[in-house]
Amino acid sequence: MIRIEQVTKRFDDIVALGGVDAEIAENCIFGLVGTNGAGKSTLLRVIAGVLKPEEGQVLVDDVPVWESVQAKSRICFIPDTAMFFSNATADVMRDYYRVVYPKFDAERFDDLLEKFDLDPKRKLSTFSKGMKKQVSVLLGICANTDYLLCDETFDGLDPVMRQTVKSLFAAEILNRKFTPVIASHSLREIEDICDFVGLLHKGGILFAKDLDEMKLGIHKIQCVIPDETEEAALLAELDVLQKEKRGSLLTIVVRGSYDEIDRKIRARQPLFSEILPLTLEEIFISETEVAGYDIKNLVF
């Protein structure tokens, strides 16, 4: 397990991370989402031991990551922009990873290069962005570390390749001790593959929850309640995250259990009501609006 304890990271006067607390369990896929500049990439670098926090610490099974060879050997980090040696080929990077990661599976890497139709002798500088990303992911998987930190893993990959990478991650989890941590702006990709999701906003973590459990605890409601007094009373007793009214149709996003919300709505004698499931994107928007990141204030 990775434990993040009160991690604070500053760059001059900018607080990139402010007292972040979170836990990442083993053998799950953890998605890290957030607003622009929320600190996702910085947090991944702190977890990997690339950056040292000013306060707090990151532990892998109770071993602090910073300056610990033991802890770092269990983590592989794939940055947003693929980083390779000048004029390097996939073969050169394979040999380098074999030195850095003792469990690196060179034979499997060569096999995957062939399956992905990537030339091991061709200079990586001539590859497209998507091809470079593929090589980075294959290097990360074949490193055979317990944790793989991925910054914008799916950026630049075509739909077929995105699905292939997801399948690779799923197969790794089934076959060995493996935990991918994926930071992405693509909430659709996160929703498709992740078991747990952490939401960062302005350097702090708003929540880190099981994705299915999170969806069960937040709902979108559309209803028509003719009596405005009854409508106001309903809004007062619900935990409302977001509200919009067009004509007589009230649309709200609410925290709570389905049955309890349904009971409270029916008690107000609505002409019409329905409770709808939310996508991760809708949950993201609702939670960040509560935190003060309201798109209406930005646009209008």
Q: For residue 126, how many other CB atoms are within 10 A of its CB? A: 10
Q: Which residues contact 41 (CB under 8 A, 6 or more apart)?
A: 79, 80, 151, 183
pLDDT value for 109: 97
CA 211 to CA 194: how far, in whole Å? 7
pLDDT value for 279: 78
Q: Which residues contact 87 (CB under 8 A, 6 or more apart)?
A: 123, 125
pLDDT value for 295: 42
Q: Which residues of the chain have pLDDT under 70?
A: 287-300
Q: Summarize pLDDT for 33-50 with one digit per residue, the tens.
A: 877 788 899 999 999 999
pLDDT value for 192: 81
Exposure b/e, 255-294, CB count within 10 A at least 16 = b: eeeeeebbebbeebebeebeeeebebebbbbbbbbbeebe
Residue where the block lists tokens 């031991």: 49
Give Cα 211 distance to the centre of its chain: 11
C-alpha count within 13 angstroms, C-beta hemisphere, residue 31: 26
pLDDT value for 289: 67
CA–CA distance from 267 to each of 29, 79, 238, 263 (Å)? 40, 52, 13, 6
pLDDT value for 260: 92
Dihedral angle of Cα 186, 189, 191, 197, to the nearest 10 degrees: -60
pTM of the predicted model as reported, rounded to 2 decimal places? 0.80
pLDDT value for 300: 40
CA 179 to CA 173: how far, in whole Å? 7
Q: What are phi and psi of 133, to 5 degrees?
A: -65, -40
pLDDT value for 157: 86
